[in-house]
């Protein structure tokens, strides 16, 4: 009985040595360790790139829509806030849901201080109840500030890559994209 136990230990040691020397399949094992980190990083880079592209699209659309106020086209057409928002949505519809776009337009008399409020409160919530639509009166050279906001959904944040500034560390994490155009209205 003793001999068979010693023999089985020798066989086990031989099998372990063979296993350590055999390198077939080691690449698969190593990839299994590295793959989750690699794919998490890859998806984080892709999501960040798409988000920055969306931010640039929002910025360009806001600049183009704000040009309607700069050149008095919006004022001459008596454009309402809904019409202005629709014009912006038409420029962004391929990438954004129009329901989630928020517009804030404020006019400041020449020489007055411009006060811009942060739409994210101390708890990390988006606050849009103080948004207005004030165009410049005809014939004035007031300064107009047009801001557009969009709550961009994030998916990779659940993997530890958290760039959210709304609902941080929740399942509904989002990044508030903002675009601003500030200009002095051309005199008529």
Nearest to 116 by CA among 186, 179, 66: 179
Task: For residue range 65-102, list pLDDT tens digits in order.
Answer: 999 888 888 888 888 899 999 999 999 888 888 888 99
Please list, in sequence order, all residues whose beta carbon lies within 8 angstroms of the beta carbon of residue 146, skipping any fewer than 6 positions away. 62, 65, 66, 69, 103, 104, 105, 180, 181, 182
Count of domains forming the chain: 1
Summarised one tens digit per residue, pLDDT across range 24-56 is: 667 778 888 898 888 888 988 998 999 999 999
Helix (H, G, I), strand (E, B) or coil at 21: helix
Instruction: Tell whether the model's pLDDT for residue 150 goes beyond 90.
Output: yes
| In 67-119, beta strands by DSSP E | 101-108
Determine the distance from the C-alpha atom of residue 112 to the mean position of all C-alpha atoms in its chain, rounded to a whole number: 33
Q: How confident is the model at residue 151 (pLDDT cuts 50, 70, 90)?
A: very high
Scan for tokens 């954004």, then name that residue.
96
Report whether pLDDT(5) > 70.
no
Name every residue whose Cβ is closer than 8 Å to that of residue 83 and which is 6 or more positions away in sequence.
77
Expressed as residue numbers, the domain containing 16 is 2-184
Give the pTM. 0.78
Alpha carbon dihedral 163, 114, 102, 84, in 10-degree steps, equals: -140
Tokens standing for residue 23 = 């390198």
Mean pLDDT of 167-180: 85
CB 176 within 8 A of CB 152: yes
3-state secondary structure 47-98: HHHHHHHHHHHHHHHHHHHHHHHHCCHHHHCCCCHHHHHHHHHHHHCCCCCH
- CA 174 – CA 172 distance, rounded (Å): 6
Query: What is the percentage of the chain residues whose pLDDT exceeds 90?
Result: 26
């Amino acid at each position: 009985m003793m001999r068979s136990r010693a023999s089985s230990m020798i066989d086990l040691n031989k099998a372990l040595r063979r296993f350590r020397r055999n390198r077939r399949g080691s690449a698969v094992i190593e990839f299994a360790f590295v793959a989750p980190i690699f794919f998490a990083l890859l998806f984080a880079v892709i999501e960040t790139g798409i988000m920055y592209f969306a931010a640039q699209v929002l910025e360009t659309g806001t600049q183009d829509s704000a040009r309607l106020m700069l050149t008095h086209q919006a004022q001459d057409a008596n454009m309402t806030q809904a019409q202005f928002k629709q014009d912006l949505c038409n420029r962004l519809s391929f990438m954004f849901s129009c329901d989630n776009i928020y517009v804030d337009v404020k006019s400041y008399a020449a020489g007055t201080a411009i006060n811009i409020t942060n739409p994210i409160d101390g708890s990390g919530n988006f606050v849009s109840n103080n948004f207005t639509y004030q165009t410049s009166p005809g014939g004035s050279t007031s300064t107009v500030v047009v801001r557009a906001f969009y709550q961009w959904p994030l998916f990779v944040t659940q993997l530890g890559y958290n760039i959210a500034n709304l609902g941080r560390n929740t399942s509904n994490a989002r990044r508030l994209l903002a675009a601003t155009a500030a200009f002095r209205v051309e005199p008529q």
